[in-house]
Structure 1
Amino acid sequence: MNLTSPLSEPTPASDTRAERSLQLAIAAARTAADNRGQNIRLLDMRGVTPEFDYFVIVTGNSRRQLHAISEEIDHCLEDDLGDKRIGIEGYSESRWILLDYGSVVVHLFDQETRDYYALEDLWQDSKPVELPWQDDEPTAGE
């Protein structure tokens, strides 16, 4: 009897899924950055839950900006990368828009709602993923 978790031993299929999930998550994060999303975080959820691989968390300044970011992420992931969104929540309220791509979940927040739900704290056992372009951005005070 094998008592190991399905997450404990990677297989070629899981490696391919993980690579594809990371590609989608980075593309979503990059698209958010290109549309002036702020405080963008990419969390590797694979060691925390089998439900999805990555969270992308983004803050926007207005309802209009959150809509634009969500629509551009849809365009990028669906049209450019051939993935299909499974679901969307919160679009009409626009305080927290959730885009579900199966292995990747994108959370777009206004600042107040992001502070209230504090997903990074809730999922503190996840691993942050460094985004390639964040090294190029100046930090506060520079």
Structure 2
Amino acid sequence: MERKAGELVVLDLRGISSATDFFLLGSGSSDTQVRSIAEHIIDELRKEGVRPGHVEGLEGGHWVLVDYIDFVVHVFHPQARSFYQLEGLWGDAPRHDLEDAPPGR
């Protein structure tokens, strides 16, 4: 199963929201892929000692929200991402597209 998320975007909410500092948004092509991406993020961060404060939507897989307090990960099915339009809702937030970012070490 390919776990690679598409359309990766970071929204910098510092100074805009008191709830969190960053949103990381990504998309999967199916509910199964959305769940797989979210589970992979949870597992990898847990290995580093980072545990989510809250997880929503993992059962359904259409939109999974993983709240790490300082940052929130949103993994969407494309239809859900289009419907909820978080990028538009938080249009004042500085946006960083990660699609063209160099790979990590």
TM-score bracket for this pair, using the shorter chain length: 0.7 to 0.9
TM-score of the two chains, using structure 2 as the length reference: 0.87
Shift of 1:84: 1.2
Counterpart CA distance in 2 for 1:77 and 1:130 is 21
Q: 1:88 aligns with which of 55, 58, 64?
A: 55
Matches within 5 A, 1:16-95: 35-79=3-47, 81-95=48-62
Letter in 2 for 1:62: S
- Higher helix proportion (structure 1 or 2): 1
SS at match of 1:85: coil
Q: Do the aligned partners of 2:24 and 2:73 also contact (CA within 8 Å) in 1?
A: yes
C-alpha distance 96-102 of structure 1, shift in aligned 2 (>3 A):
same
Aligned residue-pair number:
102
Provide the alpha-carbon RMSD of the alignment.
1.9
Partner amino acid for 1:65? Q
TM superposition score normalised by structure 1: 0.66
Looking at structure 2, the residues matched to 36 and 120 of structure 1 have their Cα atoms a distance apart, in angstroms, of 20
The one-character-per-residue Cα deviations of 1:11-49 (angstroms, maximum 9, x if unpaired) are: xxxxxxxxxxxxxxxxxxxxxxx8321111011110211
Aligned twin of 1:122:
89
Conserved in 2, the CA contact under 8 Å of 1:47 and 1:126? no
CA contact (8 A) 2:8 2:97 kept: no
Q: Which has the higher contact order (CA 8 A, sep 6+)?
A: 2
- 2:74 corresponds to which of 99, 107, 116: 107
